[in-house]
Structure 1
Amino acid sequence: MPDAPPTIDDASADDLSAATGTKWRLVTDQVMGGVSEARVRRATVAGRPAVHLTGDVNLANNGGFVQTTLDLRPDGGTVDASAWTGIAITVRGNGESYNLHLRTTDVRRPWQSYRQSFGTTGDWRTIRLPFDGFTAHRIDAPLDLSRLRRIGLVAIGREFRADLAVADLRFYA
């Protein structure tokens, strides 16, 4: 029986805490010498509480990403999401495309992940990202949904201004 509850984050906390009992963290390409800058915070965006990622993606110094990540368990362990079909995300943005990255225990390098892109508009909308739509990036292992560790919301790959608000993130069947 899967141990992943449906709600990952519903933006109900005042700080960066999620329903998982973990906190959203900011990671940029500066960890590898890049110069992209960003901020993640809780904010009310267009009338809804949300996790709000803003910043500038810059390709200088072999950079090119900003992201906010969320461990799925406070102890750094895994959840079994194999009974779910995918992840539903309620988002609002600036018309740019973003990625949702999944990490499992098979992912050992920072550049490895399972990825799926999604577009944004200036209106709130819920997007369903089915697990079978995620593609492996720089990893040969198939996506093992029984060993999910972390989710990342990522602005990546080109120079642009990131502005992504997430009001709800959950597994769906």
Structure 2
Amino acid sequence: MNNLYKYLIISTILIGLISVGYFAYLRLNEDSLKTETMIIDNLTPEKNQEWIFFTDRVMGGISSGKLEIGSESGSKFYRMTGDVSTANNGGFIQFRADLTKLSNTDKIFNGVKIKVRGNDENYNIHIRTNRTVLPWQYYSLEFYAPKKWTEIELPFDSFKRSNFYQPKGFKSSDIRTLGIVAYGRDYVANLDVGLIEFY
């Protein structure tokens, strides 16, 4: 009986130590995954996306614009310019890329970081996931683009759903497309983007 009692005590201690070690490993592993970043686009041959530019004319609007690649002091950037009009139920211009292959990873990302320069106007990031199948379904977050280059971090948990019946949030592995959008009101868009990455 005495030996059995000792065995139970030793077994309990060993199980406890193993459990503590296992959960410590999981915590460290999760933290290491969260600290990584993944460049989506920095305009290099190794890290650039096939961006598609389009406007509300696909749905009858009259907004107009274009997407170009600019260069300054040896650094390239995307430049989106145009006139956003809410006439005819329109009101946007944007460029968007399919990130399905990039987001298909076990790594955990908490948000998107962008390097931008603009005309002191507000713009939006629109994210679509594997659960936003209709054109008007997306998650969005507004950002301000000053006249000097600045880096902005946009946490995924701050993005707002466009419809109440969408899931409230999403994981980075759910992301299918990311769009940079001039949206929602009548104004002149002039936005430069030099870096997009997940953090």
TM-score under structure 1 length normalisation: 0.85
Letter in 1 for 2:168: P
Q: Distance in 2 between matches of 1:28 and 1:125?
A: 26
Q: Which amino acid aligns with 1:61?
A: N
1:98 aligns with 2:126: no
Compared CA separation, residues 157 and 97, structure 1 to 2 (3 A): same
Contact 2:92 2:184 in 1 (8 A): yes
State whether residues 125 and 141 of structure 2, in contact with CA within 8 Å, keep that contact through their aligned partners in structure 1: yes
1:36 to 59, 63, 66: 63
**Relative contact order higher in (CA < 8 Å, ≥ 6 apart):** 1
Please, which of 123, 137, 157 is the counterpart of residue 162 of structure 2? 137
Higher mean alpha-carbon deviation, 133-142 vs 40-49, is at 40-49
| Counterpart among 65, 70, 83 of residue 108 in structure 2 | 83
Residue aligning to 1:107:
132
Unaligned stretches of 5+ in structure 1?
none
Alignment of 1:56-71 (within 5 A): 56-71=83-98
Once the 2 structures are TM-superposed, how far is the Cα of residue 46 of structure 1 from its aligned partner? 7.5
User: 1:78-136 deviations in whole A, cap 9, x for unaligned?
Assistant: 53476111111000000000000111010111111101000011100000001111011
Give the aligned residue type for 2:155: P
Q: CA separation in 2, counterparts of 1:117 and 1:79?
A: 25
Greater C-alpha Rg: 2
User: Stretches of 4+ moved more than 3 A in 1?
Assistant: 45-48
- Counterpart Cα distance in 1 of 2:68 and 2:169: 29
SS in 1 for 2:148: coil
Number of matched pairs: 164
Rounded Cα–Cα distance in structure 2 between residues aligned with 1:81 and 1:115:
23
Structure 2 CA distance for partners of 1:79 and 1:5, relative to 1, 3 Å: farther
TM-score by length of 2: 0.75
Q: 1:117 to 1:46 in 2, by over 3 A?
A: farther
Q: Which residue of 2 aligns with 1:10?
A: 42
2:26 match: none
Q: Is the 8 A contact 2:100 2:175 kept in 1?
A: no
Where structure 2 has 5 or more consecutive residues not aligned to the other structure, the ranges are 1-29
Q: CA RMSD in A?
A: 2.3
* Structure having the larger proportion of residues in strand: 1
Partner of 1:72: 99
